[in-house]
C-alpha cells in the first residue's frame, strides 16, 4: 500500500476526503494541525475520526497562529452568526491557512517517502476562501516539486482534492455511502459552552444546508 498524508481536522470534509483516500488504496497518515482555535472539542473529534478510519499513523502538530491573528478563528474578532453565508471572503478566513497546512503535510510526506497529500477543500460551498481554489492547489503542487529533496530527485507530488467540485450535499451523500459516522465530527466555528453546534455560523449553516439537500439527518443534531 502506498502512503498518503491526509489533513484531518475532525470536520466533515476532511473525514470524507480521508475515507476516499482509503477506498483508493492508500495507507492513511493523518495530520491534525491545531492552530490556536478554541480547540478541546476539535482534538477530540480528530482523534475519534482517525480511529474510525483506522489510520496507520496520527500526527498532531500545534502551530499557534494567535500571534499572527487576523481571523475570527485565531483572534478576538467575533465569529459572525447571521445564519446566512456572505458572498465575500469572511472574517473566519485564516490568512494563508491552507498554504501553512499543505507545507506541513509536505514536510511529513517527504519524511515518510509519500508523494500523495489529501486535503478536503471544496470550491463550491467553500465560504469564499481563496486557498480552496483549484489554481491554488496546482500552484502548490508545482512548488512542492521544487521545494523538496524528493522533487529535486525527480519525484512528483500530488495534492488530491476529491471534494473540490462537490456540493456539501454530494459530500454528505458520498460519506453516507462509505458508511461514515458524521456524529464523530465537529464543524462549528464557535460552539456554546455545552459543545453543541451554534447553528448560525458559516460552518454550521453550510453543514445544515448540505444535510438538508442530501435528505439526511445530521447525527450531531439528534
**Contact status: 43 vs its own copies (CB under 8 A):** no
Distance (Å, rounded) from C-alpha 53 to C-alpha 48? Answer: 9
**Contact status: 37 vs its own copies (CB under 8 A):** no
Q: Least distance (Å) from its own copies to the CB of residue 209?
A: 24
Of residues 141-200, those binding its own copies (CB under 8 A): 142-144, 146-149, 151-152
Determine contact, residues 71/93, Cβ cutoff 8 Å: yes
Identify which of residues 35 and 189 has a Cβ nearer to its own copies in the complex: 35
**Contact status: 217 vs its own copies (CB under 8 A):** no
Of residues 71-110, those binding its own copies (CB under 8 A): 89, 93-100, 103-104, 106-108, 110
**Contact status: 59 vs its own copies (CB under 8 A):** yes
Query: What is the sign, positive or negative, of the torsion defined by CA atoms of 12, 196, 206, 61?
Result: negative
Distance (Å, rounded) from C-alpha 189 to C-alpha 51? Answer: 23
Cross-strand partners of 7? 31
Cell of 14: 476532511
Listed in sequence order, the residues at least 6 apart from 193 whose beta carbon sits closer than 8 Å to its beta carbon are none
CA-based nearest residue to 161, from 3, 2, 7, 1: 7
Q: Total binding residues for its own copies by CB under 8 A?
A: 43
Query: What is the sign, positive or negative, of the torsion defined by CA atoms of 202, 10, 220, 176?
Result: positive
Determine contact, residues 165/123, Cβ cutoff 8 Å: yes
| Among 52, 56, 63, 123, contact with its own copies (rule: CB under 8 A) | 63
Q: Least distance (Å) from its own copies to the CB of residue 64?
A: 7
Q: Least distance (Å) from its own copies to the CB of residue 193?
A: 28
Q: Which stretch binds its own copies (CB under 8 A): 14-22, 65-73, 169-177, 200-208?
A: 65-73
Q: Least distance (Å) from its own copies to the CB of residue 87?
A: 13
Cell of 90: 469572511
Strands 158-160 and 116-118: parallel
| Among 69, 183, 192, 219, contact with its own copies (rule: CB under 8 A) | 69
Of residues 132-151, those binding its own copies (CB under 8 A): 133, 135-136, 139-140, 142-144, 146-149, 151
Cell of 173: 451523500
Write out the residues near its own copies by the rule CB under 8 A. 59-65, 67-70, 89, 93-100, 103-104, 106-108, 110-111, 130-131, 133, 135-136, 139-140, 142-144, 146-149, 151-152
Amino acid at each position: 500500500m502506498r502512503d498518503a498524508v491526509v489533513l484531518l481536522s475532525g470536520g466533515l470534509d476532511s473525514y470524507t476526503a480521508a475515507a476516499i483516500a482509503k477506498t483508493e488504496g492508500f495507507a492513511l497518515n493523518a495530520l491534525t494541525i491545531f492552530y490556536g482555535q478554541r480547540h478541546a472539542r476539535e482534538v477530540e473529534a480528530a482523534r475519534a475520526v482517525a480511529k474510525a478510519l483506522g489510520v496507520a499513523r496520527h500526527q498532531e502538530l500545534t502551530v499557534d497562529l494567535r500571534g499572527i491573528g487576523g481571523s475570527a478563528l485565531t483572534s478576538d474578532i467575533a465569529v459572525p452568526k447571521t445564519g446566512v453565508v456572505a458572498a465575500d471572503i469572511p472574517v473566519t478566513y485564516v490568512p494563508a491557512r491552507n498554504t501553512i497546512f499543505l507545507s506541513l503535510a509536505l514536510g511529513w510526506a517527504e519524511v515518510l517517502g509519500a508523494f500523495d497529500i489529501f486535503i478536503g477543500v471544496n470550491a463550491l460551498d467553500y465560504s469564499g476562501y481563496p486557498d480552496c481554489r483549484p489554481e491554488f492547489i496546482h500552484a502548490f503542487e508545482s512548488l512542492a516539486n521544487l521545494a523538496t529533496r524528493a522533487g529535486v530527485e525527480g519525484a512528483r507530488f500530488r495534492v488530491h482534492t476529491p471534494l473540490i467540485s462537490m456540493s456539501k450535499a454530494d459530500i454528505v451523500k458520498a460519506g453516507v455511502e462509505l458508511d461514515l459516522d458524521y456524529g464523530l465530527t465537529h464543524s462549528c466555528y464557535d460552539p456554546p459552552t455545552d459543545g453543541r453546534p451554534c447553528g448560525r455560523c458559516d460552518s454550521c449553516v453550510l453543514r445544515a444546508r448540505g444535510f438538508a439537500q442530501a435528505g439526511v439527518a445530521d447525527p450531531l443534531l439528534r
